Amino acid sequence: PYPQPSGPAARLTEFAQELGRASEEGETGDIQSQLDQWPADIPLRRARFQVVDKWGAGDRSVMDHALLNHRWDAAALLADRDLQPSAYLVHQAFNASPSAPYAGIRDFLLKHSLGLNREWQGQTPLLSALDHTADGLFQSLLDHCATPGTVTSQGPPAIRELRPPAITGHCTRPAS
């Protein structure tokens, strides 16, 4: 009896829900199919969908959902399409203890050089890692292309001169 919503917003919702379901199941073929069908006129980074899982209920990005549920293959496919995790998830992953549930996410982000320069409340993972130098996180972030000179809402960081020139050419994929 009610008209079906149409237009870009409705298409975004429809495609995001399908992509979300595919990533929830962890079926890489379904995810690839959904990514291949994604409308060119809708930025993929806007793919959000409604979820209810152990992390709570609400609206979440497809990338965050894949990472939180340790769907590594799904997250890798999304990363190949330049989807980024939320700044909050990056903050949680790099500020958690190495044995915490976020540690797997931290490892994935490092491996794929994802979110390494994302700011959350004036802090980047590299700035936060200054408090955790004993566990090697600071050096690992540098090795995976985190940028000491990233300017945050707090202004330029004091650590921007720390990157040794020898590491500069080491990065194969720029950190995001």
pLDDT tens per residue across all 176 residues of the chain: 545 556 667 777 777 777 777 777 767 778 788 788 877 777 777 666 656 555 555 667 788 888 888 889 888 988 888 888 888 889 989 887 767 778 789 999 999 999 898 888 888 888 888 766 667 888 888 888 888 877 777 766 656 545 444 444 456 555 55
pLDDT at 41: 76
Look at residue 108 in the predicted model and tell me its pLDDT.
94
pLDDT at 112: 92
User: Can you name the residues that pair with 59 across neighbouring β-strands?
Assistant: 50
Tell me the whole-structure pTM to 2 decimals: 0.74
Give, in order, the Cα–Cα distances in Å from 42 to each of 16, 39, 45, 124: 10, 6, 9, 29
In whole angstroms, how far apart are CA 47 and each of 108, 118, 156, 169?
20, 19, 31, 33
Looking at residue 17, the DSSP 8-state letter turns out to be H
Full DSSP string of 74-126: HHHHHHHTT----HHHHHHHHHS-TTSTTHHHHHHHHHTT-STT--BTTB-HH
Q: How high is the pLDDT of residue 169?
A: 44
Residue 110 has a pLDDT of: 93
Rounded to an integer, what distance in angstroms lies between the CA atom of residue 125 and that of residue 130? 9
Please state the φ and ψ torsions of residue 136, each to the nearest 5 degrees: 80, 5
pLDDT digits over 30-73, tens only?
Answer: 878 878 887 777 777 766 665 655 555 566 778 888 888 888 98
